[in-house]
Amino acid sequence: MSYQIPGITKVSIDVEEKEPWYKRPVSSTIGRASSPLTALALGSQAPLGRTASGKEDFVKKLLAAAQQDKDIDKQIPLKVNFGGVHPLETLTRTWKNPRTSILTKLLGTATQPINQALATLSRGDHYNPFSHEVTSYTADPAVVAHELGHAQDFSKAENPGIYTLTRMLPLSALSQEYTASKNAIKLLRKARMAKEISRANRVLGGGLGSYAGSMAGVGPIPGALVGQAVGAGAEPFN
């Protein structure tokens, strides 16, 4: 579906409704086993199935803010999925994406099964640069804004395929995560969700800290807890 928002002529971002648990049996059962750890890392109850604000309300606000960025739906509309991915749809979008080369499409096709399996098993929110899709399991405003921030970042990259490959370099991956979080704060501000900004800095600090902790060898949870403290105190993404 596409949201129609007052003051915006057209919102060319498709939003897939969340499906019942029985249509997503793996992510709704096995996948939820990691939810407490994700909630601890982010300092958010959303991975456990509880959110502070209604999904539809904050999604409309964020999409309206994202739509102001003309690059985000350049040539192919962004698609937002809640609750899981659709493999055939993702594969179709990968090959229809006019911004990627044949080699990039082949890479996206080859990595899709393992990436989608990992996302389903871990209920990991993510942005897919090959198909230009955001998938959210948590429906947390800060995390959704972060994934939209990735979409903005990759939309501005001259070569999304090469930009994706640079994530194999630890410092590049951290840089992309930081950029997406900065974009997220800008989106929340544009969406007039000022009350979420302080909390978002803490949640996104936890997310970035989990990456840094894993790369530093201390583990994602210790890194996430430090990241939350830094995010709450210094608000580094403002």
CA-based nearest residue to 238, from 210, 206, 212, 199: 199
Query: Per-residue pLDDT tens for 134-172?
Result: 998 888 899 999 999 999 999 999 888 899 999 999 999
CB 166 within 8 A of CB 73: no
- Enumerate residue ranges in the chain where pLDDT < 70: 1-19, 21-22, 50-56
**Considering the entire predicted model, what is its pTM?**
0.90
pLDDT for res 4: 39
- DSSP string for residues in 125-169: -EEETTTTEEEESS--HHHHHHHHHHHHHHHT-S-HHHHHHGGGS
CB 184 within 8 A of CB 229: no
Q: Where are the domains of the chain?
A: 14-192
Which amino acid type is present at position 13? I
The structure tokens listed for 21 are 């648990």
pLDDT for res 14: 62
DSSP 3-state helix, strand, coil percentages of the chain (rounded to 5)? 65, 5, 30
CA angle 73, 79, 81 (to 5 degrees): 155
Give the count of beta carbons closer than 10 Å to the beta carbon of residue 32. Answer: 17
pLDDT for res 67: 83
Query: Per-residue pLDDT tens for 73-103?
Result: 777 888 888 888 889 999 999 999 999 999 9
